[in-house]
Amino acid sequence: MSQPHHDDHLDRIRLPALRERITTAAAAAEWIKDGMTVGMSGFTKSGDAKMVPLAMAERARHTPFQITLITGASLGNDVDKLLTEAGVLARRMPFQADPVLRAAINRGEVMYVDQHLSETVEMLRTRQLAPIDIAIIEAIAITETGAIIPSTSVGNSASFAILADKVIVEINLSQSLALEGLHDIFIPKHRPQREPMPLMTPSDRVGTTTINIAPEKIVAIVITEKQDSSSTILPPDAETDAIAAHLVEFFEEEVRCGRLTNSLLPLQAGIGTIANAVMTGFINSPFAHLSMYSEVLQDSTFDLFDAGKLDFASGSSITLSSQKGAQVFRELTRYKERLVLRPQEVSNHPEIIRRLGIIAINTALEADIYGNVNSTHVLGTHIMNGIGGSGDFARNAYLAVFATKSLAKDGKISSIVPMVSHVDHNEHDVDILVTEVGLADLRGLAPRERAQAIIRNCVAQPYRGLLQEYVTEAGERGGHTPHVLEKAFSWHTRYRETGSMLPIRSVNIHPTDDLDDVSQQAA
Amino acid sequence: MSQPHHDDHLDRIRLPALRERITTAAAAAEWIKDGMTVGMSGFTKSGDAKMVPLAMAERARHTPFQITLITGASLGNDVDKLLTEAGVLARRMPFQADPVLRAAINRGEVMYVDQHLSETVEMLRTRQLAPIDIAIIEAIAITETGAIIPSTSVGNSASFAILADKVIVEINLSQSLALEGLHDIFIPKHRPQREPMPLMTPSDRVGTTTINIAPEKIVAIVITEKQDSSSTILPPDAETDAIAAHLVEFFEEEVRCGRLTNSLLPLQAGIGTIANAVMTGFINSPFAHLSMYSEVLQDSTFDLFDAGKLDFASGSSITLSSQKGAQVFRELTRYKERLVLRPQEVSNHPEIIRRLGIIAINTALEADIYGNVNSTHVLGTHIMNGIGGSGDFARNAYLAVFATKSLAKDGKISSIVPMVSHVDHNEHDVDILVTEVGLADLRGLAPRERAQAIIRNCVAQPYRGLLQEYVTEAGERGGHTPHVLEKAFSWHTRYRETGSMLPIRSVNIHPTDDLDDVSQQAA
């Protein structure tokens, strides 16, 4: 993030009548009552409301109350942590990535509804979820007509503001005014009047640059200079470099076969270290004039711009490391005409994903021998983050890639198991599985063939041999998708009991990153 | 089917130059060589090529050869059975429903690639699957320009004929010429030139009525009077009536709440007895001016037309019982202007499914306490049919309903289990689960709430109590989605070992249909 701009905050409220709505965060928070459903800006820690939620947490310490909190995706600034600790969250959707909230969810204290990110506002719009009582939206400014100019994310903010009766705006002076004009707000019509979305390339603009609402809905305005939280992705390492190299080699072969051109097709990449590293790997690739049609734009997006590899990037948020953020927001005008931020129902829309032919690259927590992927649940029960947008993309994409390191916890966990303990993406949706060991191209293969391709290409020893033993025993029982059901989770239960998936202590396991990192998922 | 029409078959080949391509099935089958990929018409037993595949099976008895066979969906006339018995099938996609082929797949003898039905031609078009060497397409006629007029299904026929270098046409004299004009063939452009599909209601026509190819690609024409196989769905029974009644009651409440109008939204229904019975249930409902945007149009579609409930039905095939077929095809002109048959990539297109806001009703083989659905695999290993189009619909629909009888095999199987042994549709995609016991509305619920809703509403005793015990034990271990992994499949392993999921013999189990019927899935 750049340093706070010390311009007059009144200049950022261009409809003078609204200036009288400026108030404190504590006063604004009084609008939120027990039992309400609150729609709040924020997607992958960017553009989140920062002051009012903290005032809510403060108030709940002396006057307990609970709400349903709906956002775009994850929040920064410890908002989910503080609201959890204050007991404010009864229900949370559609995504989170906070350790304190996650623990409360896993204890069954917060009801977490883990949703496909394209679906939340569709369900709100059709009143399949309880209505939004109040929206809290971070903005860089309010226009002369009272329209809201979002900051570093769009997420679900536009529909929250449109659907709510009351809107609280947080004007964030630390967010660059150069963001104005970057957004493209398109809201689908109600059915049966809904029309095709006229978006045919990632750079097409189909909406407005502002969130247009009746200004009288804005009941409070809070001024802040609090910055977005920075991304905490790790730099590429030997294993993520190997994953990226396998993928580049795969795409080179696709180009050689004439299935793709040298500019590939629009790329989507999930959030986190592995996906960012994979995208960084395109810098030293032969591909050119790449484009992105993704959810979150991370450091790698701007590295690819600077390397001259990327022509255009469409996302729903910009989430950068501290260093990269300082540079990008200082030089935003240099990138701006090659960027657009859209509502997440547009960035993740099945219509656009299928039409553009997205190459979707997401991260697996674990995968199994048939190519089913668990993106979310440790040992099948404890959630890490959520499915995010990975399901919107994987089901409808031209090509669905899932990447993971083959080992976790110093080799005590194999990311490739006989059967995943939770299925977020099933065999029908997983085209390519890649680890640092290698890449399995699963297109057009039957389950028994998928198993051989995955074991041969993606699994480190000694797990490779153990999986082959499992497959052999399962094959003797028969079936299209052979399994030994009573042993399908034996690796998970062994890990739970002994701290390792290995039946006996084994040497030659390569150390690897912590499970928490491996589990980063789209959004 | 109506009786064969004894018109002159030459009249059905309106481009005279093509009449010299008329040959025997045996001669036409000589075009198919060992190792080829063959694209064949046929979707839910309708409009399938009938003569050439049988000649292929005949030939293979003395001269063995193997092919990859790709169709729309399932075939009739024992084609899959005879090709399997003759050893012709090395690889088969994207769907099948034949007991003999299924057994060969489960023995690992035929490599079966079970695909989302919208995806097969996308993968062929982009050469992600081996190219179609030859297409075999049933037609009612060939036009003056050499274009093919399909019969009772479109399926993947149009793209097969367009993509193949050589096309064999089976002119079927038993198929009514009144089918001409019923089809709407729309083929998406190659990316990045692809445009929005201009389809905004189920009745919109966006393509041509014929499959337009260069006539010189037609290398052989075979004449037949062999009829489509009839559907073998069972009539509604007390349990399917109860399922239908629960759903009608649910939709009445949705209308009362203002979430739906009295004409609901376009309906999709999977193939088979349960889905057909559910659709039949709308006859005695308060709803009116219904529409369908589905894959297969079954008896219930025409019952709804006759009852004045249904305004329009879009599908990819018409598959009827023997009695209904005789009536419908005799009176086809009476229904024709309210019908359209489309390629399956259009009937199942994510873009259209999301835009129209489809209400998708499909059948579960088993479901679990969190709402994950197994549509395909008995005991997690042995496939019945395939996922068909259910994944295209459930992921992208306005509302995804899954229906099943709560018990199978005289109560020795509970269709609701602690954890499904195979996941085709995960918790993110299942909004409503309904059995004869009742309906669970899972929208906006967290996993622990979903479990209570499903156990309370959908499960028959004594399994209800057993599932509650499981949930209690799992809850003590904690997690967002509590499980006792080492017991998650204990019901399946007990059934495998003892022939019943019940731990002890129990009385008061209601008899139900055979598992084979319960497993009918979309397409």
B279-284 LR contacts (CB < 8 Å, sep 24+) = B279/B303, B279/B304, B279/B361, B280/B236, B280/B244, B280/B304, B281/B236, B281/B241, B281/B243, B281/B244, B281/B245, B281/B247, B281/B248, B282/B244, B282/B248, B282/B309, B283/B307, B283/B309, B284/B248
Contact A428 B192 (CB under 8 A): no
Check B480 against A112: CB less than 8 A apart.
yes
Closest Cα in chain A to B371: A423
Show residues of chain B in contact with A189, CB under 8 Å: none
Distance from CA of A214 to the nearest CA of B (A): 24
Residues of B with catalytic annotation? 295
- Chain A with chain B: Cβ pairs closer than 8 A: 239
Residues in chain B closer than 8 A to A192 (CB atoms) = 200-201, 265, 356-357
* Nearest by Cα to B452 from B374, B366, B365, B370: B370
In sequence order, what are the residues at sequence separation of 6 or more whose Cβ sits closer than 8 angstroms to the Cβ of residue A360? A268, A353, A390, A393, A394, A397, A399, A400, A401
A481–B422: do the CB atoms touch at under 8 Å? yes
Under an 8 A CB cutoff, do B485 and A475 touch?
Answer: no
Chain B residues within 8 A of A489 when measuring between CB atoms = 485-486, 488-489
Contact B354 A354 (CB under 8 A): no
pLDDT given for residue A521 in this prediction: 43
A286, burial (CB in 10 Å: exposed 0-12, middle 13-18, buried 19+): exposed
Nearest C-alpha in A relative to B379:
A485
Tell me the CB-side half-sphere exposure of residue B150, using CA atoms within 13 A.
Answer: 38
Q: How far apart are CA A250 and CA A257, in angstroms?
A: 11
- pLDDT digit string (tens) for A219-260? 999 999 999 999 988 889 999 999 999 999 999 999 999 999
User: Residue written as tokens 């407005």?
Assistant: A208
* CA–CA min distance B169, chain A (Å): 26
**Residue in A112, A196, A443 nearest the CB of B129:** A443
Q: Which residues in A lie closer than 8 A to residue B114 (C-beta atoms)?
A: 428, 480
- What long-range pairs does A101-110 form, CB within 8 A, spacing at least 24? A102/A383, A102/A384, A102/A385, A105/A383, A105/B480, A106/A381, A106/A382, A106/A383, A106/B478, A106/B479, A106/B480, A107/B478, A108/B448, A108/B475, A108/B478, A108/B482, A110/A84
Asked if B198's CB is within 8 angstroms of A200's CB, the reply is no
Instruction: Report residue A343 as tokens.
Output: 């509502």
* Chain A, nearest residue to B198 by Cα: A196
pLDDT digits (tens, 9 = 90+) for A4-48: 444 578 999 999 999 999 999 999 999 999 999 999 999 999 999
Q: Are B123 and A354 inside 8 Å of each other by CB?
A: no
Q: Hey, are the CB atoms on B443 and A129 less than 8 Å from each other?
A: yes
Asked if A371 and B476 touch (Cβ cutoff 8 Å), the reply is no
Q: Which residue in B265, B423, B444 is closest to A113 by CB distance?
A: B444
- Nearest chain A CA: its distance from B198 CA (Å): 7
Contact A398 B372 (CB under 8 A): no
From A517's Cα to the closest Cα of chain B, the distance in A is 19
Which residues from B are below 8 Å from A443, CB to CB?
Answer: 123, 128-129
- Three-point CA angle A146, A148, A149, nearest 5°: 130
What are the tens digits of pLDDT across the range A437-457? 999 999 999 999 999 999 999
Identity of the residue in B357, B372, B387 whose CB atom sits nearest the CB atom of A191: B357
Residue A166 has pLDDT above 90, yes or no: yes
pLDDT in tens, B471-498: 999 999 999 999 999 999 999 999 999 9
Best of B109, B428, B489 to disrupt the A interface (most A CBs within 10 Å) is B428
Of A126, A258, A493, the CB nearest to B398: A126
Average pLDDT of span A186-213 = 97
In this complex, the residue of A196, A355, A422 whose CB is nearest that of residue B481 is: A422
- Least CB-CB distance to A446: which of B112, B351, B444? B112
In chain A, residues with a C-beta closer than 8 Å to the C-beta of B444 are 93, 113, 123, 128-130
Q: Select from B106, B114, B116 the Cβ nearest to the Cβ of A478.
A: B106
Contact B127 A259 (CB under 8 A): yes
Continuous H helices in B17-75: 25-29, 52-62
CA distance B105 to B111: 6
pTM of the model: 0.95
Is A486 exposed, middle or buried (CB count within 10 Å of its CB: 0-12, 13-18, 19+)? middle
- Cβ-based contacts of A201 with chain B (< 8 Å): 192
Chain B residues with beta carbon closer than 8 angstroms to that of A398: 122, 126, 191
Using DSSP, state whether A142 is helix, strand or coil.
strand
pLDDT band at residue A511 under the 50/70/90 scheme:
very low
Neighboring chain B residues of A380 at a CB cutoff of 8 Å: 479, 481, 483, 485, 488
Of B93, B200, B391, the CB nearest to A395: B391
**Which residue from A113, A127, A351 is facing B354, i.e. has the nearest CB?**
A351
Whole-number percent of chain A with pLDDT over 90 = 93
* Interchain proximity A445–B372, CB inside 8 Å: no
- The confidence score (pLDDT) of residue B191 equals 96
Cross-chain Cβ contact B356/A192 below 8 Å: yes
Please list every residue in chain B whose beta carbon sits closer than 8 Å to the beta carbon of residue A488: 380, 489
Contact between A405 and A277 under an 8 Å Cβ cutoff? The reply is: no
Average pLDDT over residues A496-510: 74
Determine the distance in angstroms separating the CA of A39 from the nearest CA of chain B, rounded to an integer: 15
Residue-level length of chain B: 523
Q: Do A355 and B428 touch (CB under 8 A)?
A: no
Is B196 in contact with A194 (Cβ distance < 8 A)?
Answer: no
Q: Which of B355, B490, B519 to mutate to test the interface with A (most CBs of A within 10 A)?
A: B355
> Which residues are CB-neighbours of B255 under 8 A, at least 6 positions away?
B261, B262, B264, B286, B287
**Dihedrals φ, ψ of A476, to 5°?**
-70, -25
Q: How far is B431 from chain A (nearest CA, A)?
A: 10
Cα distance from B311 to chain A (closest Cα, Å)?
15
Catalytic residue among A119, A170, A239, A295: A295
Q: Give the mean model confidence (pLDDT) for residues A461-466.
A: 96
Q: Do B194 and A355 touch (CB under 8 A)?
A: yes
Give me the interface pTM, i.e. the ipTM: 0.95
Give the residue on A whose Cα is nearest the Cα of B383: A480
Which residues in chain B have Cβ-Cβ distances shorter than 8 Å to A399? 128
Residue of A nearest to B266 (CA): A192
- Which residues of chain B lie closer than 8 angstroms to A250, CB-CB? none
Least confident of A101-105, A207-211, B270-274: B270-274
Asked if the bond preceding B94 is cis, omega within 30° of 0, the reply is yes
**Facing A493 at nearest CB: one of B265, B387, B486:** B486
Each residue's pLDDT tens digit in chain B (523 positions)?
344 444 578 999 999 999 999 999 999 999 999 999 999 999 999 999 999 999 999 999 999 999 999 999 999 999 999 999 999 999 999 999 999 999 999 999 999 999 999 999 999 999 999 999 999 999 999 999 999 999 999 999 999 999 999 999 999 999 999 999 999 999 999 999 999 999 999 999 999 999 999 999 999 999 999 999 999 888 899 999 999 999 999 999 999 999 999 999 999 999 889 999 999 999 999 999 999 999 999 999 999 999 999 999 999 999 999 999 999 999 999 999 999 999 999 999 999 999 999 999 999 999 999 999 999 999 999 999 999 999 999 999 999 999 999 999 999 999 999 999 999 999 999 999 999 999 999 999 999 999 999 999 999 999 999 999 999 999 999 999 999 999 999 999 999 999 999 997 554 444 443 334 333 444 4
